[in-house]
Structure 1
Amino acid sequence: MTKSATAAKQRAIQNEVAEDDAKGKPKAETAMQAGGRTYPAPPFPKQHQKKPGDEAKLSPPALYDAPFYLGSNKLLDKVAIITGGDSGIGRSVAVLFAREGADVVILHLDEDKDAKETSEAVAREGRRCLVLKGDVKNSTFCRKAVQQAVSEFGKLDVLVNNAAFQVHSYDIEDLSEEHFDETLKTNLYGYFHMAKAAVPHLRPGAAIINTGSITGIDGQKNLLDYSMTKGGIHAFTRALASQLVAKGIRVNAVAPGPVWRPLNPSDKEAEDVSKFGANVPMKRPAQPEEIAPAYVFLASAHCSSYITGEILPIIGGY
C-alpha cells in the first residue's frame, strides 16, 4: 500500500470515529448490579450523624449479612479479633468469619447498640462473640483486649485492624493539630498497638488483615490526614509482612473504595452523603457484605497461603 493510500485509509477511519463521537459517548445510566440482590444506589436521603456514627440510623440500612454467601469451614474453630467490629465492614466480616466457623472478638469505641446487634448476628451463625469496649489509641486497652481474647478462647489466629477515624477538611490551613493527631493516632497507632499486642500469641498460619483505602492509593483532597494514614497502613502492611514471614504469619490489606457505612454520614455533609458513590464506574457505593468476603479469603490459609504483603483494592471499577 502506498503512503498516500495509507493516509487516505487513516482519514477514513478518523471520519468513522468522528461520526460515532457525534452520537455521544455511551453512559451507564443505572448502577451496576452483579450480586445476589439489588444494592441501593444514590441519590440517598440527605443525612448526617454525630461521631462515631450509628449503623441503626443509616438510611437505607447497610447490608451486611450476605444471605447468598455459603460457609464452608474455611475458618473452622479459629479465633479472630476485629477492631471496629460493631458496624460497617467490621460487622460483616464478623458475621462471615462466624459463618466460616470462627469465634469472634469485636472491639468498639462507644456504639453499644451496634455492638449488641453484631454479637447477636454472630450468635445466629452458631459461634461465640466477645464484645470489648475501648479506644485503640490506648496501648493498654489493646494489650488487655488481646489478653482477654486469649483468656476467653485459648488462642488467637486472626487480627483484623479495621477501626478508623475520618472527618473531612477542605483546606490544610483549617486542619487543626488536634484533628490531625486524632486521625493518625486512631488509624496508625491503633493498628500498631493491636499488631504488637497480638503477634506474641499468633502461630504459623495466622493472619493479620489491615483495612486500607483507595484514598491511600490515590489520595483525596478533602481527606488529607485520612489519606495519609491509609497510605501509611499500606506501607505498614508490606513492612510487617516482610518482618513476620519467618514466623509463618501472613499480613495483607484490603483497600476499599466507597462503602455504605456509618463512617460516611458521620464525616460528610448531608448533601455529599446523598451522592456518595455516584462517581465510581458502578455508580454506587459497595455494601459491607460485598467487601467482607475478601477478608475471609485473606484470613483463610486454605485460600491465600501464598499471599502476604499484598494490598487488595475493591473499588467498584476505578
Structure 2
Amino acid sequence: MTQYTIYRDADLDGYGAGASQISCSLPGPGYSSSNTDCDDTDDAVYPGATEDCFDGIDNNCDDIFDMNDPSCTYCGDGTVQRPNSSGVNEVCDYPVSSCSADCTAINWTLLSLKSYWGFNSGNANDSWGPTYDNGILEGDASIVTGGRNSAYALSLDGLGDDMALPLQYVTDLLAPQFTLNLWVRPSIALDRPTFGFKDSSQWNYANPFSSYDSGLNFANGSNYQRLQPGLTESSSSSWTMYTIVDDGTYYRFYLNGTEVIDHTFEDGYPDLIEYNPSHANTRQFVFGQSGFSNLLAQWYNGRYDEIRLFNRGLTAQEIRMLYQSY
C-alpha cells in the first residue's frame, strides 16, 4: 500500500505547514504534500506568490520582504506594486506600458520620512516635521535661487556659516536607525559636504556623527577615533546625492543611488554600531561645517538642497528610487 506524507493546509492555498501526517491517499482539500507555507492563515502568502513590496509581509516565503525582495524594483527599473492615490497597490510595468503619476510619486510616509528641508518657500523651514522647529541660518548662510529640484537652495560661503538644527533633531541622529539623504553642489571643484555636532573639541566622544575633508566620523562609545575615509568628492558642475544609512548593524554609504563599497571601517574595528550620545545630546547638529572647534573645523563652500532625515535605515532599492525620482 502506498503511503503519502501530507501537511495541513488551513488557508487552502495549496501549501501546507506544521507537523506531517501519513495518509493512504493523495492529499485532498485542506491538505498538501508541501510544508513550505510560511503563513498558513493567509491564502495570499505562499511560495511563489507575488511580493507586495509595501505591506511588511514576506508574501512569497523567501525570507525577504517588501523592497528588500529582489522582485521589487521601481518604475523605470522593472515592475513594482506601489500604493496609488487611493491607497490601492498599482502595478507599474515600465517600459511595457507608461508609468502613471501614481506609480512615479513617492510615498514619503511609507519611507518613514522624519524631516525635510527643501527650501521651496525661500526659507529653512522643516516642511515635513510639524512638531519640530525650523533650521537656523548662521553667519552668511542664505537661501538662494537655483536649487536641485526647486527654485531655492541653501547657500554657504565656506567662511563660517551653516544651518543649525534645534536640539530635537539630535535624538533622531543618535537613534538605533536613521538615513540622512541630501544633495550638494560645491562652489569649488572636488569638495565634500561637511556636517557634525557643533563646538566639539574631541573626535567620537563629543562629535559621534560628522563629515569633514579627511574622514567620516562615527561614535564607538569611547574616546578614540573610529573613522571612515571622507565622503566621495563631488564636482562643482553638477548636483550629487549623498546617502548615509544606519540600519542598526552597519553604516552604509551611497553616491548618486549606488553604494560606495570601498568605504569600509578601518582594519581592526568591527562594523557593529555603538553610541555614546551623552556627549552629543546637548549640541546642535549643523550642515556646512564639521562641528569641531579645533583644526578640524572645516567649512563647506557650496549649496545644499533636498535634505531628508528618515527614522529607519532605507534599503538599497529605496535609495535607488530616491535618486531616480529626480
Larger relative contact order, structure 1 or 2 (CA cutoff 8 Å, min sep 6): 1
- Structure with the higher fraction of residues in strand conformation: 2
Compare CA radii of gyration and give the structure with the larger one. 2
The TM-score range, normalised by the shorter chain, is 0.3 to 0.5
TM-score (norm 2): 0.32
